[in-house]
Amino acid sequence: MSGSRPTKTPKVVTDYVPAKIKIDVELKSDADLEKWEDAVKDALEIHDLGHYIDSADHTVEPTDSTEAANWRKDRAAIRRAIKNTLNDYVFQLLENDGWTRSEEDPRTTYLLIKKVLPRVSKETKESFLHEFTHIKRESFITLQACLDRIIYLRKRLQSLQLDLSAEHEIFVLIGAMETQYPQDAKMWRREKAKDQLTWESLFRELTTMARDEESSENSTLALVGRKDKDNERSRGLRKPCLVEGCNQRIGEDFLHHECGKHIPKSAKYCFHCEPDRAPAEWKARRASWSTTPATAAALLHNDNGLQNPSTKQKTVKWAPGTAGSNLLFDSNFVSIDADVFDQSSSEESDNESPANVSLDDDKEDEDCESDFQTSPQYHC
């Protein structure tokens, strides 16, 4: 018949679409196991997929390629639905038993869940409860480590349906800190008696204390480490001289000269052996090693061209037989014997002669090496 519409050919579905399975019960612990098992079976029966976990016959892949493809998709949908109901605690139990998340057979996962969850015995639950209620800060190296353990135990007890009342948890937390922080514990108990303290507020305060302690410990460790490094660096700057018979310690940039002194490795000659070639700075420094501070200052001024005469201070002595003891107010002030001044000056000159001055070679080398860091022309 003209004008009639052509008959539509039914569309052939070639791609198999697996069912969208939803299991409404979350499995947190063995307390949820019975409800969870019923929810899994109901969800699979709705889509006529219950045989995948009830019978071992469906664990073998079909030989037909089309059926095999559909079989793989069904199992993947069941696997995903079951995994979506598990929490980290259950995953950990399964993995402890050798299960992996790449397990393809949903029946294997289903049966293992029913096997491992009841293993959480009464003794295990009591062990968690005892540790939580008797935990102490002094058992841990840091406060943060103690708080981490408290949080873990609290979550485990909640997952095992053994969570305590909020009031009991607060007193457990205060008791854990009482030995290490007695004054704070008294304050917390007063606040709890006035209903001004909650688990959350107390834990926030403890977390702040843990951060402060960690910051203080890091600062102390950094200070100690810096001091140790400085000491190690100081020891490394000087080492024993390798020349036999020399007991001095010298820097790495110095060597033992044939004259017995230590000179920089970069030096072409020794100033001790050839003082005429030494600069004025070295001569002044050398003079300061073997003279008194006042004399060294005078030599330094003279080498710098100031030519200021060095004056000696003379000790005033009373002439023998004088009765006075006060220079300004004594009645015998005029009886001071001038010859005593000459004798005193002579004695001081003798005491200041180079023959009476001893030179500390170690001190000399230390001063020289210190100067060499900034003035390499110095010799020791």
Global pTM value: 0.37
Contacts of 175 (CB under 8 A, 6+ apart): none
Residue 324 has pLDDT above 50, yes or no: no
Average pLDDT of the chain is: 73
- Residues 6 or more apart whose Cβ sits within 8 Å of residue 208: none
d(CA 151, CA 156): 9
Virtual torsion, Cα 102, 108, 112, 113, nearest 10 deg: 80
Q: Is the predicted pLDDT of residue 347 greater than 50, yes or no? A: no
Which has the closest alpha carbon to 43: 124, 110, 102? 110
Looking at residue 177, its pLDDT comes to 95
Per-residue pLDDT, 4: 53
Percent of the chain having pLDDT more than 90?
26
Residue 170 has pLDDT above 90, yes or no: yes
280-290 and 361-372 helices, crossing angle to 10°: 150
Strands 249-251, 238-240: parallel, antiparallel or unpaired by DSSP?
antiparallel
Structure confidence at residue 350 as a pLDDT band (50, 70, 90): very low
* CB 293 within 8 Å of CB 301: no
Q: Does the structure show a pLDDT above 60 at 93?
A: yes
For residue 22, give Cα distances in angstroms to 15, 25, 114. Answer: 22, 9, 19
Most confident of the following: 214-218, 295-299, 349-353, 365-369: 214-218
At residue 354, the 3 state secondary structure works out as helix
**Listed range (162-176, 207-221, 289-303) with the worst mean pLDDT:** 289-303
H-helix segments, the chain: 33-46, 51-54, 65-83, 88-96, 106-116, 122-134, 143-159, 166-177, 182-193, 199-237, 280-290, 293-303, 338-351, 361-372
Consecutive H or E run containing 249: strand 249-251
- CB-CB contact of 259 with 273 (8 Å): yes
pLDDT of 10 strictly over 60: no
Q: What is the pLDDT of residue 230?
A: 55
CA dihedral 258, 261, 267, 269 (to 10 degrees): -50
More confident residue, 178 or 253: 178
> Which comes out higher in pLDDT, residue 150 or 321?
150
Q: Inform me whether the pLDDT recorded for 98 exceeds 80.
A: yes
Q: Which residue has the higher pLDDT, 13 or 175?
A: 175
267 or 79: which leads in pLDDT: 79
pLDDT digits (tens, 9 = 90+) for 17-76: 778 898 989 998 777 888 899 999 999 999 889 889 888 877 788 888 888 888 999 999
* pLDDT band, very low/low/confident/very high, at 360 (cuts 50, 70, 90): very low
Residue 221 banded pLDDT, cuts 50, 70, 90: low
Residue 171 pLDDT > 80: yes
pLDDT at 280 over 90: no
- pLDDT tens for residues 281-298? 777 777 776 555 544 444
pLDDT tops 60 at residue 202: yes
Evaluate if residue 114 carries a pLDDT over 80. Answer: yes
Task: pLDDT band for 135, please (50, 70, 90 cuts).
Answer: very high
Beta pairing, strands 254-256 & 262-264: antiparallel
Please tell me which of 3-12, 227-236, 250-259 the model is most confident about, judged by mean pLDDT.
250-259
pLDDT bin (cut points 50, 70, 90) of residue 185 is very high
At residue 108, the pLDDT reads: 92
Q: Is 346 helix (H, G, I), strand (E, B) or coil?
A: helix
Length of the chain: 380
Statement: residue 365 has pLDDT above 90: no
The distance from CA 362 to its chain's CA centroid, rounded to whole angstroms, is 39
* pLDDT value of residue 39: 92
